[in-house]
């Protein structure tokens, strides 16, 4: 079955991300996703506000909002405020957090907590009066005066959940949400889509109704350009840090499944002689970082970087 597909962009949020988003809009991109990574980038909602007033067609999405970064009523208010600036162009992307949380030394938000957070955000945007637990007390809350027009709640703000594992996929299906997946390996991307569709069918929902977003990163090679090009390394190289983070923090936070590409897998083979798991890990990181920085093919370039052969012991 052939589906149509449209093109969006993700940005590591800068205060002036509106500049790149406005250019994307002119080129036909349909949606811009803004990272909510507060220790590394600019504030997602500030940047989206600027983009909202500087663009006219492109959709603007939190990509993704991390529940623990702000309380649910504040998030709902922000989305409704953005919706006033860019009516009908706002998307609510959310997940349990990787970079935003780990850069604070934290693991994932619990799925149950994210589900409750979504309930509050959605309910407030729907004009409901809700019971919300905060500071150990149950309270009734609602937007008190949406009719005066300072925010806008009558345009839909679709929910997108970034879901990797089976429980998150089941929650995505249960909550009737669109789906985001960081697509690297093709086989894994296909398997994830099949699993997501199965989860939707199990929840009695038609998979064809939903937006399924493949988030990708990389570089478009110019004619004759190789992976060794500085331009390629600047644009594609930093994605390797995700695999490195996963390796470093797997024992503390669990393995979230982003392994090394096959071309770098041999980098780990030289770590076996280190008996301490910490030393083994440090050596692996050192080895892989050197390989990434030196070449796409570490077997060719290792000898050109003699200092990279000295692991920390």
Partner 1 sequence: MTGTKAELRDRIHALRDAGYNHLAVHIRHGQPQMLEDWADVFAMV
Indicate which single residue of 18, 24, 79, 109 sits in contact with partner 1 (rule: CB under 8 A).
Answer: 24
In whole angstroms, the minimum distance from the beta carbon of 252 to partner 1 comes to 26
> Own/partner pairs for 248-253, CB < 8 Å, 24+ apart?
248/281, 248/285, 249/102, 251/277, 252/107, 253/102, 253/107, 253/108
CB of 184 to partner 1, least distance (A): 7
Question: By rule CB under 8 A, what string of x and - marks binding of each residue 212-241 to partner 1?
Answer: xxxxxxxxxx-x---x----x-xxx-xx--
Query: Judged by CB, which is closer to partner 1: 137, or 223?
Result: 223
Window 240-269: residues binding partner 1 (CB under 8 A): none
Q: Of the two residues 10 and 308, which places its CB atom closer to partner 1 in the complex?
A: 10
Contact 131, 140 (CB under 8 A): yes
CB atoms within 10 A of CB 126: 15
Q: Pick between residue 73 and residue 158 the one whose CB is nearest to partner 1.
A: 158
CB neighbour class for 148 (10 Å; exposed up to 12, middle 13-18, buried from 19): exposed
Q: Shortest distance, CB of residue 284 to partner 1, whole angstroms? A: 23
d(C-alpha 187, C-alpha 267), whole Å: 23
Within 10 A of 132 (CB to CB), how many other CB atoms are there?
19
H/E stretch holding 185 reads none
Binders of partner 1 in range 68-127 (CB under 8 A): none
Q: Are strands 137-141 and 130-134 parallel, antiparallel or unpaired?
A: antiparallel
Minimum gap (Å) between residue 150 Cβ and partner 1: 31
Longest distance between any two alpha carbons in the chain, whole Å: 69
Between residues 52 and 296, which has the closer beta carbon with respect to partner 1?
Answer: 296
Q: Which residues bind partner 1 (CB under 8 A)?
A: 1-12, 14, 19-20, 23-24, 27-31, 33, 63, 180-181, 183-184, 186, 189-190, 193-194, 197, 207, 211-221, 223, 227, 232, 234-236, 238-239
């Amino acid at each position: 079955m052939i589906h149509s597909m449209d093109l969006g962009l993700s940005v590591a949020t800068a205060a002036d991300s509106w500049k790149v988003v406005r250019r994307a809009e002119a080129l036909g991109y349909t949606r811009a996703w803004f990272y909510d990574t507060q220790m590394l980038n600019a504030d997602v909602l500030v940047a989206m506000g600027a983009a909202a007033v500087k663009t006219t067609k492109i959709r603007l999405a939190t990509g993704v909002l991390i529940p623990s970064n702000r309380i649910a009523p504040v998030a709902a208010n922000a989305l409704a405020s953005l919706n006033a600036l860019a009516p009908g162009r706002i998307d609510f992307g959310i997940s349990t957090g990787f970079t935003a949380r780990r850069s604070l030394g934290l693991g994932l938000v619990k799925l149950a907590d994210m589900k409750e957070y979504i309930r509050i955000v959605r309910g407030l945007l729907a004009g409901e009066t809700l019971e919300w637990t905060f500071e150990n007390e149950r309270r009734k809350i609602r937007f008190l005066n949406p009719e005066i027009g300072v925010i806008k709640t009558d345009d839909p703000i679709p929910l997108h959940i970034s879901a990797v594992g089976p429980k998150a996929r089941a929650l995505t299906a249960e909550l009737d949400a669109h789906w985001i997946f960081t697509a690297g390996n093709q086989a894994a991307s296909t398997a994830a889509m099949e699993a997501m569709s199965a989860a939707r069918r199990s929840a009695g929902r038609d998979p064809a109704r939903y937006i399924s977003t493949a988030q990708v990163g990389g570089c478009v090679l110019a004619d004759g350009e190789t992976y060794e090009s500085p331009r390629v390394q600047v644009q594609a190289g930093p994605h390797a840090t995700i695999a490195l983070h996963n390796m470093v923090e797997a024992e503390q936070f669990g393995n979230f499944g982003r392994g090394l590409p096959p071309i770098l897998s041999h980098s780990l083979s030289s770590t076996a002689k280190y008996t301490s798991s910490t030393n083994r890990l440090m050596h692996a990181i050192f080895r892989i970082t050197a390989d990434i920085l030196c070449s796409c093919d570490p077997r060719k370039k290792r000898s050109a970087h003699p200092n990279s052969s000295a692991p920390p012991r």
